[in-house]
Structure 1
C-alpha cells in the first residue's frame, strides 16, 4: 500500500519575535501562507518494523535528524505501530531556505501515515503532535493561511490572501536559524504590525498586504549575508510590489499581481541567483482524505 502527499512551502508575510521565554524558545507572532512550491512525499507500507528514508538530495539526512523520520517515529511510538514505512522525499523546496521544507515534509508524513496506518486522527490532533517535532510543523499540517503564536504552534486560521504571484530567490548559502535568533536585539528592532497584516488579508486588500510585510529577523540575516540584501534590492529594482525575506532566510520573495511584471522579475533574477521560482499562493487549508 502506498500514499502520496504534497508538502508545500510556506512564506512569512509577517514575522515578529516578542521575547525569549523561560524554556529557551522565543515567543513569536507570524502570519504564514502556503505557496505552490512543493516537495512530494511517497509513503509505502513495510511489513518490516523500520523507518527507511530515501531522497536524491544530498542535503537531506536519511536518519533521525530528518523531521519526516521523527514524525514517523513519533506516531509509531505513540500508537505502538508494529509495521514500518519507506518514506521517499522528492525535494523541490530548497533546503535550509526559510521556507519550512523539512517541517512540511514532516507534516505531510503525519497526514499520510494517518491514512496509511489507519489511525483516524483529526487535523487538530496531528497538528498538536507536529508541535513536538518543530515550531513550523503544526502550521504545515493545516496549510493555508494562519496567524501563529507561541513557538509557532498556536494556530488561528485566516482567509486566503489576495491573488498574486510570488517570486522567490535563494542564494547558494545556508543560514543558521539559531545564530540569527542569538543575535536578535529585540529592543532595537522595528516590529511589524501583525494586526494590520491580518486585517489586510481579511479585507482582501492587496495594497495593505504589501504595505505591512515585515520580518524582525531580516536585519540580522542581511548584516550576516550581504548577498541577501543584494537580492532584495534587485527585486525592488525590477518592480516587485513588496519584498521580504522569509523566516530566518536566506530566501527572499517578492509579490506582484501582473503576469508581465512577474516574468520581468523572474527573468532578471535568474541571471543573478541560483534558485528562482515564480508561484502562486495556495491559500486553502489541507483536508484529510
Structure 2
C-alpha cells in the first residue's frame, strides 16, 4: 500500500498556558501542503522493518514511523509484521511535521492492511501518544488545533495557495524552542478568531496581520539568519511570511507564481533547502 504523508505549515501558533505536567497549551491554525513523503507499507511474517532513502534518517526504534507501527501492534495485538519504506521529500527537523505525517500514514495504512476498523477518532487518539501534530496529520486540510494538539476542528478549506518553503542548513529541536519560551513575557497573543474570519473571506492581507507564531520570539532571536530570510521573502512579494511550527522553516504565501519563483531563486543559497508547493 502506497500512501502520501503530507507536510503542514502553521498559519498561526499561540501558546496560551502550561499544564502541570509541563506541556504547553496551544491554539494553532494548521494547513496541509501538497509536499509529501511517500510511505509504502506491506504485511510481513513478523517484526517491524523500516527503510528510508535518506541515510541521515534513523530506521530503528528512534523513527516515529517505527514507533507508530509498534504502538498499533501492541494496541491491537497484531501478530503479523510490517515493512515500512519511506521516501523522504519533507525536510527533517524543519517545523513541517515530516515525522508526524509519516506516523499518521503508518497508522492509517496499518488500519487498512490489518482490517482494524479503527475510526478517525481512534486513530487520532493513538496518534497523540506519538506526537502533538499526529492527530492533525490524520485529519488534514485546514484545522484549528487546541489543547496539546488533541482537539482538532476542521475549518473552511484554505486550498490552492502558492507556498514557498525555505529551510536553512540547520534544524531546530522542538524541545529547545518551547524550552526557551517565556509565557509571562508575551504582551500580544494571536487573535485566532479574527484570523479564521479573514481566512474564511480569503482576505490574505487581513490574514497577514493576524498570522503570528509566538515561537518566533525564541527561534529568530537565536538564529538571526531567519529574520533576513523573512525580510527577503517579504521584499519578493509574499503576502504572509511566517516561521512554521518550532522552525526553522520560513514560508511565504504568494499570489503570483512568478514572484514566488524569483524569491525561490534568490533564497537558494547558503545551504538553504527551497521548495515551491501549494496548500491543499
Q: TM-score range by the shorter chain?
A: over 0.9
Q: Distance in 2 between matches of 1:174 and 1:255?
A: 22
Residue 145 of structure 2 is aligned to residue 148 of structure 1: yes
Report the equivalent of 2:211. Answer: 213
Alignment length, in residue pairs?
Answer: 279
Q: Distance in 2 between matches of 1:148 and 1:53?
A: 30
Report the equivalent of 1:57. Answer: 54
List 4+ stretches of structure 1 deviating above 3 A.
none
Q: Distance in 1 between matches of 2:203 and 2:2?
A: 35
Q: Distance in 2 between matches of 1:108 and 1:271?
A: 32
- What do the CA deviations read for 1:40-97 (whole angstroms, capped 9, x no partner)? 00001101x2011101212311111111111111111111111001101100000000
Residue 178 of structure 2 is aligned to residue 181 of structure 1: yes
| Aligned residues: CA RMSD | 1.2
How far did 1:273 drift? 4.8
Within 5 Å, give how 1:53-202 maps onto structure 2.
53-161=50-158, 163-189=160-186, 190-202=188-200
How far did 1:205 drift? 2.4
What stretches of structure 1 of length at least 5 have no aligned partner?
Answer: 283-289
- What do the CA deviations read for 1:91-145 (whole angstroms, capped 9, x no partner)? 0000000000000000000111111111111112111111111100000011111
How far did 1:227 drift? 1.5
> Normalising by structure 1, what TM-score?
0.93
Cα distance change of structure 1 residues 162 and 107 upon mapping to structure 2, 3 Å threshold = closer
Report the equivalent of 2:243. Answer: 245
- What do the CA deviations read for 1:224-268 (whole angstroms, capped 9, x no partner)? 111111211111121211210000100000011112211221121
Q: Distance in 2 between matches of 1:99 and 1:195?
A: 23
Q: Secondary structure at the match of 2:83?
A: strand
Worse overlay, 192-201 or 271-280: 271-280
> Normalising by structure 2, what TM-score?
0.96
Q: Secondary structure at the match of 1:214?
A: coil
Q: Distance in 1 between matches of 2:265 and 2:78?
A: 49
Cα distance change of structure 1 residues 55 and 162 upon mapping to structure 2, 3 Å threshold = closer
8 Å contact kept, 1:191–1:215: no
Report the equivalent of 1:287. Answer: none
Q: Distance in 2 between matches of 1:272 and 1:193?
A: 35
Q: Secondary structure at the match of 1:35?
A: strand
